[in-house]
């Protein structure tokens, strides 16, 4: 009986590990200082979906930038608002803190798992 329990536990852990590897999911709580932006992707990656919740008390503008440098505002996430963004291959996404306090985002990414992430001074549009 003890061996059967160990086998079942090992099997469940193995299936869970395989599922997380194949689903390419990343989750992150991200803090953005005032007048700063958080960048997802350097423009050289596959497509992915970003499920984003503005968990803070300040507005955050969402901007995409193609590999050719063309920027497009996708709008502003109000505090506590959620949205899903479908990000095309080789496209950067910036989350720009529009407020005077730190912004907080809950990010759930599915698809491309090799995304670069980083902070920078506020981008110019």
Torsion from C-alpha of 116, 62, 80, 78, nearest 10 degrees = 160
What's the CATH number where 38 sits?
Answer: 2.60.120.10
> Does residue 31 form part of some domain?
yes
**Would you say the pTM of this structure is higher than 0.95?**
no
> pLDDT of the chain along its 125 residues, tens only?
666 665 655 555 555 555 444 456 778 899 999 999 999 887 678 888 999 999 999 999 999 999 899 999 999 999 999 999 999 988 999 999 999 999 999 999 898 656 666 666 765 55
Distance CA 19, CA 111 (A): 13
- What is the count of structural domains for the chain? 1
Cβ atoms of 86 and 49 within 8 Å: the answer is: yes
List of residues 6+ apart from 104 with CB closer than 8 A: 29, 30, 31, 32, 54, 55, 56
* Containing structural domain, residue 32: 25-121
Name the helix (H) or strand (E) containing 102.
none
């Amino acid at each position: 009986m003890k061996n059967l329990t160990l086998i079942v536990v090992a099997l469940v852990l193995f299936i869970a590990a395989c599922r997380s590897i194949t689903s390419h999911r990343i989750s992150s709580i991200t803090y953005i200082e005032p007048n700063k932006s958080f960048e997802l992707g350097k423009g050289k990656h596959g497509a992915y979906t970003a499920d984003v919740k503005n968990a803070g008390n300040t507005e955050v503008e969402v901007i995409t930038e193609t590999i050719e440098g063309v920027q497009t505002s996708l709008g502003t996430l109000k505090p506590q608002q959620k949205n899903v963004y479908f990000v095309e291959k080789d496209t950067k996404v910036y989350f720009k803190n529009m407020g005077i306090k730190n912004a907080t985002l809950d990010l759930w990414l599915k698809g491309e798992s090799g995304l670069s992430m980083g902070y920078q001074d506020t981008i110019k549009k």
